[in-house]
Structure 1
Amino acid sequence: MRNSPGPLLRRATVGMLALATFWTSASAPAAAAEAERLPFAERYRATQHGGIVRAANTSISCRTTSPSCASVRRGATAANGDFDMFYVDVDRDPNTYNSSRAEVRLPAGARVTFARLYWGGNLRVGEQKPPKDNGRVLIAEPGGAYKEVLADTVVGHRVAHGADAFQASADVTRLVRDSGPGLWTVAQVNVAMGRSAAGAWGGWTLVVAYEDPAEPLRRLSVWDGFESLDGRREVLLGGPRLPKGAGGYAGLVAYNGDRGRTGDSLTVSGTALSDAANPRDDVLNSTISGPGSERVPSYPHTLGYDSDVFDLGAVPRRGGDQRGVRLASERDAAWAGVLFTAVDARD
């Protein structure tokens, strides 16, 4: 498993002068190293009574001046490249240019054992964002003030298909353990606004593993990386075998999947996953789906950002003969960022 030096958090005064001073200060930490391709590797593994939850939201959406924007946000088929895109900004702070919220929902009495924040997007649309800011983001716990989070590992960053794509991440276990469940806010994700053929897209996901003696014994795994999925590319990982009848769930985070363009799939132990929000051959369809939790805003169509959780118990399967998690795309210029599973430990 990858090791990280722990959460890199700073209290942030969200004023323009204060931020500008911090960004240019000689004492500010150097930007995280970047790489065009980050092969997927296991970030976290545990066998414990408990599970994995995630909070996620988009950082950019279509401008409401477009006549079709409202219907697309509600779920109509379209692509981010069809729109002039603008920031989502819900915090009423004039000094943040994007912000959104989502709920970390934990069982009463659960203990957080792992929490990692992932963020990413496209830096090149109608404007070009500076890559030096890829490794910085702001986060506020429920009822709390913004704190700066710095990426604590290599940032994935690739220029391809008209996009300038990146994903960064940081360990926030201590912060989430101390602050607990509720609505978390993430701001200043480095994404570009405007319109281009590649489209604007970006968002964040907070993945949280927890221990709870009241829940089944499960094998928990989180993998991350930064891999292009265009043209029959795939991410294939070793993973659990799913015994027949075993429960569990699997999740993904991916960028720039377009709704209605079929040819991508997520399979676990040889079984293709789907649900009401994600067709079997179009799982990269710009959705944040899975067990219910609150989001602000809560657009059903996120126009280029996917953070989905699938219930494995609802999937018919033979069980027992295959292992592994596979995310594949035959058409989209998409990027994979995170995969995770929580499977009943029955074998």
Structure 2
Amino acid sequence: MKNVKLILYFTLFGATIPLLAQDVSLFQQFNGRYDYVAIGNTLNTVENGLGGPCSILTSSSADLSLNAGQNVTAAYLYWAGSGSGDFDIAINGVPISAERTFSDALDATRIFFAAFADVTDIITTQGSGTYTISDFDLTGVISPYCPTGTNFGGWAITIIYEDASLPLNQLNIYDGLQSVPTFLSITLNNLNVLDNEDAKIGFIAWEGDRALAVNEQLTINGNVISNLPLNPANNAFNGTNSFTGATDLYNMDIDVYNIQNNINIGDTSATITLTSGQDYVMINNIITVLNSQLPDATITVDDYIVNCGDNSIELFYTVNNFNSTAVLPANTPIAFYLDGLLIGQSLTVNDIAIGASESNSIMVTIPDDADPNLTIIASVDDNGIMEGTVTESNEDNNINFVDIELLIVPDIVTLPRLIGCNEGFETSTYNLFDVLEGFDYTEEDITFYTTLEDLETESNAILIPTSYNNSSHPETIYVRLESPPCYEIFQFNLTTENCPPYVPDGFSPNDDSRNDWFNIQGLYNIFTEHELQIYNRYGEIIFEGNNDKPWYGVINRGLNNHGETVPVGTYFYILNLNDSNYRPMVGWVYVNY
């Protein structure tokens, strides 16, 4: 049969005092092989009413009988009465304090209360047996209520159990405190009934009187329902317990109705209406049990990875099928949104069993103009246009929010250039750390790169930054300074300049491979346009050279001795660097063999 979606939302309308009453709303949902039973008892000794005794008990008991295979999942205690409230009571001698409270009023002086406590641990531990509520004392409260027959007190425990023999059901518990007279309508929306067999609805109600049966009806989808002989169609709230058959729960009701003939397969909504022409009844708890076989997809973003200066985020997520009664199929779509913009899509990979999960990850890219402080929405069962493709038991729990801060790299800071002496062809040797003079850093936090891309990917770092030779002129160097959780970027240029050459005092052209030529340091391949002239002691030019023609002590000018080596002696040189920053250099050089 077709998978279906059951109770999710409902609206309520009633004639109550709005400042006090709390609308009945969905409190808890159970999906699986679940059903429930309820026990409870009144503190009234007789039904209240005009002329009745103005007395009330401070304790009462009820018996719980669970069958083999019925394993308690949850147990919720409700208690109520006249007045502003007694919120500290005991169950089988164990002190209980109210975890939630409710209130309602008939008029300005007749106010009523109800309270709630989770007693799952107590019921699970003690199991079947007698349960006694004590220390529930309204004896000093009820006197003003007795003349109008509105004095009451009572308690009830709703026990949800799991049983492997049951069909797959969805059990919904709604609670609050709303009163009837004269009219209360509850609309259950988003139904998609799979099977109406054994469908039922139950109530915990307070202050109903058996003796009052004026226009008192309970209808579902316009059909009057009853539960004979306990709950006739004209007196729904008459002090009975449908589970035990008790008829002496004065001024309270624990009722359950079979509604399989009043709700149809394929129904998408149901309306419950309660009317009472005279009897003042307060609804505290409503439970529905309908057959259901549906998955329930939820998603959590478990973690994420954000890299410095990168708009790509890796999201790690888990899709769950916890509160479900059917497998969540593979290829269930997942969408990721930022400010309503779809930024990523994925699919579940495998069928996800009841109560199971599947984890995965996805890379999403954030728009460049997005605020760095952002909230990503992960949405399961979402085809990318905010539409689901799988019918679920709960369509309102498909999203998860995660707040993320992008790691923004500060703007690049330009540092002063490093200048090196030209060692030839506009190259030089640099200690790159010199550019960071005045910075507070450790060398382990600094890395140098020749491209910004390499810096961002931490690739091809300069291996020996203390002795680096530039490869172009000028050359831009990028500096990465680790500054957790991110880093800073600096850049600077390497430039060269022609430094003054050093002229030696002499040389010995004797072919011993040591000092065989007039080696002027910092000249060749640096001052590439230079001119060198050598004169003998008589003032005669004997050699002219340039960047391609150094002097090895051989004569190449004059009338005689071309190609011969000069004799030992002192010679005069004129070095014209042909550089506007320098004047010609002159001096003496000694040649020896």
Q: TM-score, normalised by structure 1?
A: 0.69
List per-residue Cα deviations over 1:116-154 (Å, max 9, x = no partner).
10000113xxxxxxx3x52212111xxxxx011111123
Instruction: Note closer, same or farther for the CA distance 1:79–1:322 as it changes in structure 2 (3 Å cut).
Output: farther
List per-residue Cα deviations over 1:12-56 (Å, max 9, x = no partner).
xxxxxxxxxxxxxxxxxxxxxxx7121111111011112011111
Deviation (angstroms), 1:157: 4.5
2:123 aligned counterpart, secondary structure: helix
- After superposition, where does 1:187-226 map in structure 2 within 5 Å? 187-191=134-138, 192-194=141-143, 195-226=146-177
Alpha-carbon RMSD = 2.8
Q: Among the aligned pairs, what percent are the same residue?
A: 22
Match for residue 135 of structure 1 among 87, 90, 94? 87
Q: Tell whether the 8 Å contact from 2:32 to 2:168 is kept in structure 1 after alignment.
A: yes
Aligned AA (1:263): N
Match for residue 42 of structure 1 among 26, 42, 65? 26
Deviation (angstroms), 1:99: 1.4
- After superposition, where does 1:171-250 map in structure 2 within 5 Å? 171-191=118-138, 192-194=141-143, 195-238=146-189, 245-250=196-201
Ranked by relative contact order (alpha carbons within 8 Å, sequence separation 6 or more), the top structure is 1
Deviation (angstroms), 1:203: 0.7
Instruction: Note closer, same or farther for the CA distance 1:201–1:235 as it changes in structure 2 (3 Å cut).
Output: farther
Partner of 2:269: 323
Q: Tell whether the 8 Å contact from 2:191 to 2:267 is kept in structure 1 after alignment.
A: no
Q: Tell whether the 8 Å contact from 1:47 to 1:218 is kept in structure 2 after alignment.
A: yes
Query: Using the alignment, how far apart are the partners of 2:188 and 2:129 within structure 1?
Result: 32
> Tell me, which stretches of 5 or more residues in structure 1 are unaligned?
2-34, 63-77, 89-97, 124-130, 141-145
- After superposition, where does 1:1-347 map in structure 2 within 5 Å? 36-62=20-46, 80-88=49-57, 98-123=58-83, 131=84, 133-140=85-92, 146-158=93-105, 160=107, 163-191=110-138, 192-194=141-143, 195-238=146-189, 245-259=196-210, 260-268=212-220, 270-276=222-228, 277-288=230-241, 290-292=242-244, 300-313=247-260, 315=261, 319-321=265-267, 323-324=269-270, 326-331=272-277, 332-345=279-292
Q: Say which one has the larger Rg.
A: 2
List per-residue Cα deviations over 1:224-252 (Å, max 9, x = no partner).
00112222233444475556651132211
Aligned AA (1:107): N
Aligned AA (1:205): A
List per-residue Cα deviations over 1:90-119 (Å, max 9, x = no partner).
xxxxxxxx2111122322132222211000
Deviation (angstroms), 1:319: 4.8
1:340 aligned counterpart, secondary structure: strand
Query: Using the alignment, how far apart are the partners of 2:235 and 2:64 within structure 1?
Result: 26
Aligned AA (1:284): F
Q: Tell whether the 8 Å contact from 1:49 to 1:214 is kept in structure 2 after alignment.
A: yes
Instruction: Note closer, same or farther for the CA distance 1:319–1:267 as it changes in structure 2 (3 Å cut).
Output: farther
Instruction: Note closer, same or farther for the CA distance 1:211–1:240 as it changes in structure 2 (3 Å cut).
Output: farther
Query: Using the alignment, how far apart are the partners of 1:186 and 1:114 within structure 2?
Result: 18
Query: Using the alignment, how far apart are the partners of 1:265 and 1:346 within structure 2?
Result: 32
Q: Tell whether the 8 Å contact from 2:69 to 2:164 is kept in structure 1 after alignment.
A: no
Which structure is higher in helix share?
1
Aligned AA (2:77): L
Instruction: Note closer, same or farther for the CA distance 1:233–1:109 as it changes in structure 2 (3 Å cut).
Output: closer
List per-residue Cα deviations over 1:293-340 (Å, max 9, x = no partner).
7xxxx5x24332111122335x46655435235242232322111111
